[in-house]
Homo-oligomer: A and B are copies of this chain.
Amino acid sequence: MKRLPNFVQLKEVGPRDGLQNEKKWISTADKIAWINMLSESGVKEIEFTSFVNPKMIPALSDAREVGKQIKREPGVLYSALVPNMKGLEFALDAGIDAASVFMSASETHNQKNINKTIDATYPVLDKVIREAKQAGKLVTGYVSTVFDCPYEGKINPDQVLRVCENLFASGVDDLSLGDTIGTAVPTQVEQLLEVLMKHYPKEKLILHFHDTRGMAIANIMTAMHYGINRFDSTVGGLGGCPYAPGAAGNVATNDVLYLLHGLGIETGIEEKKIQDAGLFIQSKLGKILPSRSLAYFANAQ
């Protein structure tokens, strides 16, 4: 086996990717209290909301209030999802440290999600990226459906590479590669990284797994064997479909921490504080979240 990294940096995307599809409204005060808990866990980056049109994502319609009222922990980077110039304006007003722009590697998924072709998306994002950089912010590019698309099936790594090239050309600092529908198996991770790591240093690449089929932890292991040491995750494994009983969401921060700390890899994050943050949001949502480690912790209380 190749050597594992000594340190892994997690980005907590629960307040954005985790909550965005929840039908149960979480009050602004509860969101703020929860994000403040996350800020104290030792995690170094939190995606705290989305500035997508609130008509599209009503669960996060209080994005600006949240941004203005959360306590800023020194050393923590606060980022938000930003779809366009209007979103960027609100995001800058709300005090983001970093903007996350997004598009799909799959033409059909991009059109269904953003209502534009891939080629028509680049100039929109280019403007947002340049403006955010000019405002002194970091910019991450999310690329969705890098392994499989619900409409097109398998996505060729060369297609992912083309999207990466365009986003790097526009000036993103790094890219987060999304297994949006949670279907990838470890060999797919290997195949994509074999292509992308010929072009980009590992520091520029983040992997973003959903756990829909229970493969995420194995995929993270595989990516780490390629040297990748940055991953996105959500407390409790938030992010499943709210209408689908038992459906998994993003890979759970709790489970990733169990893995990493068990392997002797440092994260700077206190597991207990993540478990407590998991119990908090689980009680606010009123349902059992998918994380195995959170369930174990909750039952041991």
Asked whether A259 lies within 8 Å of B218 as measured between CB atoms, the reply is yes
Complex Cα–Cα for A183 and B263 (A) = 12
Residues from chain B with a CB closer than 8 A to the CB of A221 are 186, 218, 221-222
Choice from B213, B252, B255, B290 contacting A258 with Cβ under 8 Å? B213
Residues from chain B with a CB closer than 8 A to the CB of A255 are 213-215
Choice from B185, B218, B225, B247 contacting A1 with Cβ under 8 Å? B225
Residues from chain B with a CB closer than 8 A to the CB of A292 are 211-214, 246, 248, 290
Complex Cα–Cα for A262 and B288 (A) = 28
Asked whether A295 lies within 8 Å of B185 as measured between CB atoms, the reply is no
Chain B CB within 8 A of A74 CB: no
Chain B CB within 8 A of A241 CB: yes
The answer to whether residues A296 and B222 also contact, given A246-B288, A262-B185 and a CB cut-off of 8 A, is no
> How often does this chain occur in the complex, in copies?
2
Asked whether B217 lies within 8 Å of A259 as measured between CB atoms, the reply is no
The answer to whether residues A248 and B218 also contact, given A1-B225, A186-B263, A263-B185 and a CB cut-off of 8 A, is no
A interface, size bucket: 35 or more
**How close is A151's CB to chain B, nearest CB, in angstroms?**
15
Asked whether A245 lies within 8 Å of B299 as measured between CB atoms, the reply is yes
The answer to whether residues A296 and B187 also contact, given A218-B221, A246-B288, A288-B245 and a CB cut-off of 8 A, is no
Residues from chain B with a CB closer than 8 A to the CB of A187 are 262-264
**Listed residue (A1, A213, A288) with the most chain B CB atoms within 10 angstroms of its CB:** A213
Chain B CB within 8 A of A298 CB: yes
Mask, A283-298, CB within 8 Å of B = 1, is 0000011111111101
Listed A/B pairs (17) with beta-carbon separation below 8 Å: A185-B263, A186-B221, A187-B262, A213-B293, A214-B217, A215-B217, A218-B218, A221-B221, A241-B299, A244-B296, A245-B288, A245-B298, A245-B299, A246-B294, A246-B298, A247-B295, A248-B295
